[in-house]
Structure 1
Amino acid sequence: MKQIRRLLKIFALFSFLFFGSCESYVPTGSAGAARFAQAPTDRPGLGTKWGETRRSRVGYASFRRADSTHPVATAAIYYNDAAGIRAMAGAVTWQRHWPLLPAATENLISVGLKDQSGRFLPGLIVDDRWFVVGEEGRRYSIVVRNKTDLRLEIVLSVDGLDVLDGGKASVRKPGHVMAPKSQLKVEGFRQSTEAVAAFRFGPVRESYAAEKYRNTQNVGVVGVAVFNEFGTNPWTGEEVRKRLNANPFPGRFATPP
């Protein structure tokens, strides 16, 4: 009898050690095999984060568009990390200069992305698109140069979001008014008339579009829309004549210095 009690105690102790070491159990076997939760997957490449606050003052100016809903020119700059662009274009040589824009846009403005040291981000042309190469954690800015003698309104978007109000981008929204022959530098999403949240490259899941709207469909592109002022026309008859009469070889012979 004592031996039976001893065996029962040993069995009870063994059961406690075995079963007590597990909080719960899941079925085994192919029919009832457990499927465990997986971490959410992230899109590869870069997005633009809501970065640190930077001082950037703006004022207000009146501007009446010649056409309120149809810009006179548009452009897009696509960005990604080097691996993402190489996957699309193969081996390339990066270039640092103003992007090659559609003809209508190129004659009015120049636009590019610069890094925090003021250098153009390296880029390349894939088909008819301009791509620039970013680096996670690095800050960048959008730089626009007005090449005309007219005032222009420039509407900008990043990842499908308007840079002024952070909402869904639309050409119907107001933009930045540029004086003739001036340059505009936009460093982030505008928080007030005094400050912006810096543009910083980061993982797509950490982009402003993902964190604010849970939508990354348009991550990876910077948009530019150009409006001329009511009563002005960048393509005047005189300008057209100048271009038609442009001489590719104006000098007949070499002259001494």
Structure 2
Amino acid sequence: MISRNRIDAILSNPKRSGSSASASDAFAAPKKERPGLATTFGRSIKSAMTSTSFDRASSRPAGIDAIYYNDREGLKAMNVTSDETTEGFQTVAGDMLEWGIKGNFGFLTSYRSYSHGRGYRRFVEGTHGGTYSIVLHNRCKCDLQVVLSVDGLDVIDGKTASVTKRGYVVPAGETLEVEGYRTGYNSVAAFQFSTVNNSYANLSKGDTRNVGVIGLAVYTPKGQDPWTWMPKEIKQRETASPFAKAP
């Protein structure tokens, strides 16, 4: 987990914005702020977490997905247009899980945009200073484990993200809202849109290569079939006809 003291120390470090310069830096070209949004630490939020066991069915995730984010100007520069809007929730891992990015007034405006060589990608539009949360809904009849990353950092320990790390367990049929980077068993620091220079990725690692993306990896439990009684099967039974015409 990320220490709250560590967060405060980073945010109060006078060197974090490049205000301190050596003699050799006096003749160097000024560092240019990268445009667009990134994520930093917002206010502290009460968010209790308990430990639970979860035996993965495989070392490989059942599904991996990503949602990219930026401000309106940045999305335009990335050729994301207003006629590509889509629903706030999207499914992943064969429809086992739904997820989306929620702002202060519901899900952020979402887009599904196609780019040559990369296919369709999901984008959401944020605003500087706004906070957001990651909403996960388990559509299965068994628990799922979900590993999350923001700007290339794991949301639980704040270190470089990896699908092999532990994640949140979302109980069968339930919804989990992850509001920030975990700072303790009872609190998180809210995800807040910021400049790239003030992002946690930059302040803690000095690495901004992966800002602007939220990642997810889904694992199923060992010894359980997550496909049993999925919504598609239930719908098919509910719409079955006693006197259907021959195919």
Q: Structure 2-normalised TM-score?
A: 0.78
**Greater helix content:** 1
Residue equivalent to 1:98: 88
Residue equivalent to 1:173: 165
Letter paired with 2:108: L
Instruction: Pick from 60, 64, 67 the counterpart of residue 70 of structure 1.
Output: 60
Residue equivalent to 1:143: 135
Residue equivalent to 2:51: 60
Relative to structure 1, the CA distance from residue 121 to residue 106 in structure 2 (aligned partners, 3 Å threshold; closer, same or farther) is: farther
Instruction: Pick from 115, 136, 152 the counterpart of residue 160 of structure 1.
Output: 152
Letter paired with 2:95: N
SS in structure 2 of the partner of residue 191 of structure 1? strand
Residue equivalent to 2:177: 185
Percent identical residues: 39
Residue equivalent to 2:195: 203
| Pair 1:126-2:119 in alignment | no
**Greater strand content:** 2
CA deviation vs aligned residue, 1:26-66 (integer Å, no higher than 9, x gap) = xxxxxxxxx95443111111000122211111111111111
Residue equivalent to 1:116: 104
Q: Which moved more, 1:121-130 or 1:38-47?
A: 38-47
**Greater Rg, structure 1 or structure 2?**
1
Q: Which runs of 5+ in 1 are unaligned?
A: 1-34, 253-257
CA deviation vs aligned residue, 1:96-128 (integer Å, no higher than 9, x gap) = 6334445xx2511110000123x0000111111
Is the Cα contact below 8 Å between 1:73 and 1:226 reproduced in 2? yes
Letter paired with 2:68: Y
C-alpha distance in structure 2 between counterparts of 1:101 and 1:44, whole Å: 30
SS in structure 1 of the partner of residue 75 of structure 2? helix
Is the Cα contact below 8 Å between 1:96 and 1:121 reproduced in 2? no
RMSD over equivalenced CA pairs, Å: 2.6
Is the Cα contact below 8 Å between 1:153 and 1:178 reproduced in 2? yes
After TM superposition, the structure 1 = structure 2 runs for residues 194-233 of structure 1, keeping only pairs within 5 Å, are 194-233=186-225
- 1:80, CA displacement in angstroms? 0.6
Residue equivalent to 1:39: 30
Q: Structure 1-normalised TM-score?
A: 0.75
Letter paired with 1:89: N
C-alpha distance in structure 2 between counterparts of 1:208 and 1:71, whole Å: 26
- 1:77, CA displacement in angstroms? 0.4
SS in structure 1 of the partner of residue 74 of structure 2? helix
Q: Which runs of 5+ in 2 are unaligned?
A: 1-25, 115-119, 243-247
Letter paired with 1:125: R
